[in-house]
Structure 1
Amino acid sequence: MSLEPFATSRPLTMGVELELQIVNRHDYDLTPGSKDLLRVMKGVALPGDVTPEITDSMIELCTGVCDSYEQVLDQLTVTRDALVRSADKLNLGLSGGGTHPYQHWSKQRIFDKPRFQEISGLYGYLSKQFTVFGQHVHIGCEGPDQALRLLHGLSRFIPHLIALSASSPYVQGNDTGFHSARLNSVFAFPLSGRAPFLLTWDDFLVFFEKMTRTGVVKSMKDFYWDIRPKPEYGTIEVRVLDTPLTIEKASALAGLIQCLARWISQDQPFALAEDDYLPYTFNRFQACRFGLDGTFVDPKTGEHRSLREDLNVTLHALEPHAAALRAEPALRFIREEMRWQGNDATWARGVVEKEQLLNELVRQQCERWAGRAA
């Protein structure tokens, strides 16, 4: 099976996808409401789209192709508001967060769609455990070779993005000790992790042909890499972010990734090398476990510093690119969040410490997502 041609796209354009939790308004547990929600949403004019996800208690919203952080925020606002109005009609709640704090995977139902049923047949219980919620950000690329170079350049910042977006400290009623427990579920899939270090599309096509020859994969959708090419869109797709608790943060994270992409593409601040991946799994784990206080090992120098420290240096380097992209508000949001609470996982733990109820945490998450929080 051959890979489809790499489509033409405008460099540095963005598309954002957000997977959301659907909960009832009684005890705020997950509930199979996606079909009803999609029915109510039918015919509503949106700048992007709303689609089902692998289990009935999930739903995904996405933007169209956006040029700027502000456009992402505008589109997410329109779609969020329409979804919330529809959910209110059904007495349902919608929430961000990378995991639901106390749902049990065995109760989840696979959405009736051929690909989801195929995944369920292949991966068994892992499919229901995949009831986790992430943000995906697409970045438009000039061509396939440039896409691969950008993919490997952005890989250096995967830990930073994990730490900033982390919003999944609780799983099945327990504090996991992680800031992002969601990624532990993703890592269970055999084709997860990092993409192979290939810098030309010709070499990637050879790799893909070998993989399809084994029968292990049929399309790019079978790779659950942290970043993967999406040739049908002409993009790369960053997949490590937990779904934030607000559209404002989701938009800011997309703006940050756009700034990183421009910096890497134009300034080429570091040479790409296979050895850059030597500390990759360690850095990734540190971000999942400890958030911004995790240790970051510089792949070039071997120096150890906190992700917070390295991110502050990176944000300074991104300032001229943010100005060029009109993304200064996105970087300002990130800086303020780092000074205030660091990430949504820290906020969630603060709520639970005060309220002593995971149900109240989810209720407050629904209010934050709807834009109704005080």
Structure 2
Amino acid sequence: MKLEAFNKSEALSLGVELELQLVNTNDYDLAPYAEDMLREMAKTPLPGSVVPEMTSSMIEISTDICHSAQDVIDQLTPIRDALVRNADKLNIAVVGGGTHAFQQWHERRIYDKPRFRELSELYGYLSKQFTIFGQHVHIGCPDADAALLMLHRMSRYIPHFIALSASSPYVQGQDTQFDSARLNSVFAFPLSGVAPFTLNWKEFENYFERMTRTGVVRSMKDFYWDIRPKPEFGTIEIRVFDTPLTVERAAALAGYVQSLGAWFLQEQPFTPTEDDYLVYTYNRFQACRFGLDAVYVDPASGEHMPLREHILMTMTQLEWHSEAINATRSIAQLRTDVEAGQNDARWLREKQAKEKLLAEVVRQAALRFRNPPK
């Protein structure tokens, strides 16, 4: 099977997808209300789309094509507001975060859709354990080879994305000691990990054809890579973000991705090599486990430094590019949190330390989603 052609898209255009939790307002456990929510949401004209996800306590929202972080928030805000209104009608709540703090995976129901049923039959209990919630960011690339170059350049910054978005410290009522435990569930899938190293689209097409001949892969959707090309959109799709607790943070993260992309395209700061991946898994683990307190190993120099320091250094490098694409506010918001050592995982832990009741933490996270802090 041949890979579809890489469609043209506007360089640095953005698209954002967010997987969200539906919880009841009794004990704040997950609630199987996806079908009801989708029916209610269909009544309101909105940008983007609202679709089901693997289990019936999840939904996914997405933007149309955006050109800046401000565009992202301008689209996500009315979708968020409609979700909140419809959740109130259904006596449920919508919550961000990469995992639900105390849900039991065996209680989940697979959403009745052919692809989800097929995945459930293939992956067994992993399908229900995949009741996890991520943010995906698409960034437009001028052509297919540029997309692969962008993909492998972005790979050096995967630890940044994980630590900045981490919001999944709790799983089935336990503090995992990870800032992003969500990604541990993703790693269980056989086609997770990283894309093969090539900067040539023809070579990538050959790889895809060889994989499809094995019968293991039928489309790009079968790859659960941290970053994958999306030829039908003309983008690469970064998939390691936990869903943030607010849509405002989701937009800021998109602005950070766009700023990196602008830097790559305008300055060509480095050429990725296969050796970048020698420390990739270690860096990814560090970011998942320790968040902003992680150690980062520079793949080019081998230097070890605090991840927080590497993020701040990168943000300084991006200042001119961020200003040019109207992402200054996004970077400033993220920088303030990095300097304070604050991400959503820490916010959740601080609430639990005070409340000593995870249901109350989820309730407060639902309030944060609907009324973000000023």
Partner of 1:329: 329
Letter in 1 for 2:238: V
| Cα distance in 2, alignment partners of residues 341 and 145 from structure 1 | 37
| Cα distance in 2, alignment partners of residues 372 and 229 from structure 1 | 32
Partner of 1:318: 318
| Cα distance in 2, alignment partners of residues 58 and 180 from structure 1 | 19
Partner of 1:365: 365
Letter in 2 for 1:80: R
| Cα distance in 2, alignment partners of residues 74 and 337 from structure 1 | 22
1:281 is the counterpart of 2:299: no
Query: Structure 1 residues 51 and 351 mapped into 2: Cα distance closer, same or farther (>3 Å)?
Result: same
Partner of 1:63: 63
Query: Structure 1 residues 171 and 274 mapped into 2: Cα distance closer, same or farther (>3 Å)?
Result: same
Partner of 1:193: 193
Deviation per CA, 1:231-287, whole angstroms, max 9, x where unpaired? 010100000000000111000000000001111122121221100110000000000
Shift of 1:336: 1.5
Give aligned-pair identity as a percent.
61
Deviation per CA, 1:286-344, whole angstroms, max 9, x where unpaired? 00000011110000000000110000100000001001101100001101222345210
1:112 is the counterpart of 2:112: yes
Say which SS state the counterpart of residue 139 (structure 1) adopts: strand
| Cα distance in 2, alignment partners of residues 210 and 300 from structure 1 | 31
Partner of 1:2: 2
| Cα distance in 2, alignment partners of residues 90 and 4 from structure 1 | 41
| Cα distance in 2, alignment partners of residues 233 and 336 from structure 1 | 33
| Cα distance in 2, alignment partners of residues 373 and 305 from structure 1 | 32
| Cα distance in 1, alignment partners of residues 147 and 235 from structure 2 | 7
Partner of 2:174: 174
Say which SS state the counterpart of residue 102 (structure 2) adopts: coil
Does the 8 A contact of 1:189 with 1:224 survive in 2?
yes
Partner of 2:338: 338
* TM-score calculated relative to the size of structure 2: 0.99
Does the 8 A contact of 2:167 with 2:244 survive in 1?
yes
Letter in 2 for 1:224: Y
Partner of 2:95: 95
Say which SS state the counterpart of residue 229 (structure 1) adopts: strand
| Cα distance in 2, alignment partners of residues 283 and 340 from structure 1 | 21
Partner of 1:46: 46
| Cα distance in 2, alignment partners of residues 341 and 292 from structure 1 | 6
Partner of 2:262: 262
Structure-to-structure mapping, 1:290-305, within 5 angstroms: 290-305=290-305
Partner of 2:82: 82
User: Which ranges of structure 1 fall in alignment gaps of 5 or more residues?
Assistant: none
| Cα distance in 1, alignment partners of residues 336 and 62 from structure 2 | 26
| Cα distance in 2, alignment partners of residues 318 and 37 from structure 1 | 40
Partner of 1:248: 248
Does the 8 A contact of 1:151 with 1:236 survive in 2?
yes
| Cα distance in 1, alignment partners of residues 159 and 76 from structure 2 | 25
Shift of 1:353: 0.3
| Cα distance in 2, alignment partners of residues 59 and 360 from structure 1 | 22
| Cα distance in 2, alignment partners of residues 43 and 93 from structure 1 | 19
In the TM superposition, structure 1's runs of 4+ consecutive aligned residues that sit over 6 Å from their partners are none
| Cα distance in 2, alignment partners of residues 62 and 177 from structure 1 | 30
| Cα distance in 2, alignment partners of residues 357 and 43 from structure 1 | 36
Does the 8 A contact of 2:292 with 2:341 survive in 1?
no
Letter in 1 for 2:64: G
Q: Figure out how many residues of one structure are paired with residues of the other and give that number.
A: 374
Shift of 1:162: 0.2
Shift of 1:48: 0.9
* TM-score calculated relative to the size of structure 1: 0.99
Does the 8 A contact of 1:364 with 1:373 survive in 2?
no
User: Which ranges of structure 2 fall in alignment gaps of 5 or more residues?
Assistant: none
Say which SS state the counterpart of residue 18 (structure 1) adopts: strand
| Cα distance in 2, alignment partners of residues 159 and 278 from structure 1 | 14
| Cα distance in 2, alignment partners of residues 264 and 156 from structure 1 | 12
Deviation per CA, 1:126-157, whole angstroms, max 9, x where unpaired? 00000000000000110110000000000000
Deviation per CA, 1:5-24, whole angstroms, max 9, x where unpaired? 11111000000000000000
Letter in 2 for 1:285: F
